[in-house]
Amino acid sequence: MKKLLATTAIALSLALPVAAQDYTPDPNAKAGGAITITYKDDVATLDPAIGYDWQNWSMIKSLFDGLMDYVPGTTTLRPGLAESYEISGDGLTYTFHLRAGVTFHNGRAMTAEDVKYSLDRVTNPATQSPGAGFFGSIKGFDKMSDGSATSLEGVTVVDPATVKIELSRPDATFLHVMAINFSSVVPKEVVDEFGADFGKHPVGTGAFKLAEWTTGQRLVFEKNADYWREGVPYLDQVLFEVGQEPVVALLRLQNGEVDVPGDGIPPAKFQEVMADPAQAERVVQGGQLHTGYVTMNVTTPPFDNVKVRQAVNMAINKDRIIQVINGRAKPATQPLPPSMPGYTEGYAGYAYDPEAAKALLAEAGVGEGFETDLYVMNTDPNPRIAQAIQQDLAAIGITVNIQSLAQANVIEAGGAGTAPMIWSGGMAWIADFPDPSNFYGPILGCAGAAEGGWNWSKYCNAGLDTAAAAADAMSDPAKAADRLKAWSDVYMKVMEDAPWAPVFNEERYTMKSPRMGGDDNLYVDPVSIPVNYDYVYVTE
């Protein structure tokens, strides 16, 4: 990861065009066929400006493209819709040269005007994109945010095949931002046609296109025969069946009816699966840049008192909660996971200490306790984790009512600020890209605290926003260590303010049917969670 950051920074200083040779096709890959994926919950949206959960992330990635992309199964950047690009010596101007012959699913050619429209749309407050904050370094972003402009000043169409993006400050993460789903290019005429329902009628330039969506039952993706990347996708069709309980999905996989259970291995069945050599052989394990946490809405009493939030941190028995998921995680001490650059080594976080937690509640004036709601996604093991948290908080006098809802409903409540507490499991933060800034802007920064944002604690520290922006302005590779130290300082201050209670850093486990082909990394792809559908294939 550090090497990736350094490589990006070198590109900034050299300002050289970057070519697109990056991936060798799998010689064993077989074209054709269809696979079946299952999920418990339906998909909320396939709009790349809106969708922001692990379930729809890889779906959107297969329907749409951005200027940048990642080598499949890795966190290594590669050009996407941009065939090449140049970066000025001061790191403030990016010029992207678009590929020729790229068309949307409706047959229209994609141009630089579409790139500008898409970036204007995602940063327009009317879109209510939870990812708008990622684009804060583009010149004119502030005016878009406050409604005084309807177009980003820093994005210019040079000609139909060239777009120039000017930044207001150097941003070491900018090429990563151009690779995330929120930067996907969309056709204005289709968005105008469907309005708020564009997420149900998505049209992009991606490897697959939506052929059917029967609400509550299934989605069908079919191969885009005109896809601009030669040779992919391999599959003709991907069928997503929704409304499928994870335990049933596992049984169907065992019977050869399902190829990948989208919700993973049910915790209640994990030991059974791992103890059976035939099933264990189908298990794919991978590390992930993940933190599971409890948010506390700092604008809602009594969580507006930092001592109450610190007390919650001290009351949660992380080791016991990890037992609920069969030990597939390690206790978290801070927002960043241990494998993320900028992680603060040696920081122990808040120790499990119910008595000290009670004392803090007394100092905060709520020593007699209080009642609150904890929202949780209704897929196992999350309700059981919520129950463990409920028991821990009851021990210090906090009565917790559990609101177990579908993922989309929890996300909606978090974005609206109506949820006092949320257990993030099943929606927990997995990095969009391998950089410490990704754990701040959308989920802890002021921009993410806006209506519909992913900062469910509604935590906004203007001083930390300034410090975060300064850290991301350190694009000189000689300052890489200073930049990571700056990010470490930001997260230590976050822990003092305690808008979260970090709980654990989880490992990923999934399964695949015997007929599925492709490198295992594609099934635990760090940026196409949970599966990179463009590059997997069937062997029969």
pLDDT 10s digits, 102-158: 999 999 999 999 999 999 999 999 999 988 988 989 999 999 999 999 999 999 999
More confident residue, 492 or 16: 492
Q: What is the pLDDT of residues 169-191, one digit of tens each?
A: 889 889 999 999 999 999 999 99
Q: What is the pLDDT of residues 493-513, one digit of tens each?
A: 999 999 999 999 988 889 999
Residue 225, classified by CB atoms within 10 Å of its CB into exposed (0-12), middle (13-18) or buried (19+), is exposed
Residues 212/219, Cβ–Cβ less than 8 Å:
yes
Q: Which of the four pLDDT bands, split at 50, 70 and 90, describes residue 256?
A: very high
Cα–Cα distance for residue pair 498/462, rounded to 1 Å: 16
Cα–Cα distance for residue pair 196/521, rounded to 1 Å: 35
Q: What is the pLDDT of residues 511-527, one digit of tens each?
A: 999 999 999 989 988 77
Q: What single-letter amino acid sits at 435? A: D
Task: Count, in order, helices (H) and strands (E) of the chain.
Answer: 17, 22
The residue-averaged pLDDT of 528-539 equals 91
Average pLDDT, the chain: 91
Encoded tokens for 310: 């610190």
Cα dist. 303→310, 453, 493, 498 in Å? 10, 19, 17, 10
Q: What is the pLDDT of residues 368-387, one digit of tens each?
A: 999 999 999 998 899 999 99
Kindly state the helix (H) or strand (E) to which residue 505 belongs, with its residue range.
strand 500-506
Q: What is the pTM of this model?
A: 0.77
Torsional class of 474: left (φ above 0), alpha (ψ -120 to 50), beta (otherwise) = beta
Cα–Cα distance for residue pair 329/342, rounded to 1 Å: 20
Burial 324-363 (b: 16+ CB within 10 A, else e): bbbebbebbbbbbbeebbbbbeeeebbebebeebbbbbee
Pairing of strands 260-261, 34-39: parallel
More confident residue, 302 or 3: 302
Q: Which of the four pLDDT bands, split at 50, 70 and 90, describes residue 22?
A: low
Rounded to the nearest 10 degrees, the angle between the axes of helix 480-497 and helix 462-472 is: 160
Cα–Cα distance for residue pair 302/80, rounded to 1 Å: 47
Cα–Cα distance for residue pair 514/253, rounded to 1 Å: 10
Q: What is the pLDDT of residue 179?
A: 95
Q: What single-letter amino acid sits at 313? A: N
Q: What is the pLDDT of residues 452-461, one digit of tens each?
A: 899 999 999 9
CA 373 to chain centroid, in Å, comes to 25
Is residue 14 over pLDDT 70? no
More confident residue, 499 or 23: 499
Is residue 399 over pLDDT 50? yes
| Cα–Cα nearest to 139, from 115, 179, 166 | 166
Place of tokens 């189908």: 282
Of 29-33, 73-77, 106-110, 442-446, where does mean pLDDT reach its minimum?
Answer: 73-77
Is residue 410 over pLDDT 70? yes
Is residue 18 over pLDDT 70? no
The residue-averaged pLDDT of 202-216 equals 97
φ/ψ of residue 423, rounded to 5: -85, 120
Q: Looking only at Cα atoms, what is the longest distance across the chain?
A: 68
Burial 173-206 (b: 16+ CB within 10 A, else e): bbbbbbbbbbbbbbbeebbeeeeeebbeebbbbb
Q: What is the pLDDT of residue 478?
A: 78
Cα–Cα distance for residue pair 65/85, rounded to 1 Å: 16
Cα–Cα distance for residue pair 72/25, rounded to 1 Å: 10
The full DSSP string for 207-258 is SEEEEEEETTTEEEEEE-TT-SSTT----SEEEEEES--HHHHHHHHHTTS-
Cβ contacts of residue 519 below 8 Å, gap of 6+? 26, 72, 73
Encoded tokens for 348: 């122990």
Residues 296/343, Cβ–Cβ less than 8 Å:
no
Cα–Cα distance for residue pair 371/393, rounded to 1 Å: 10
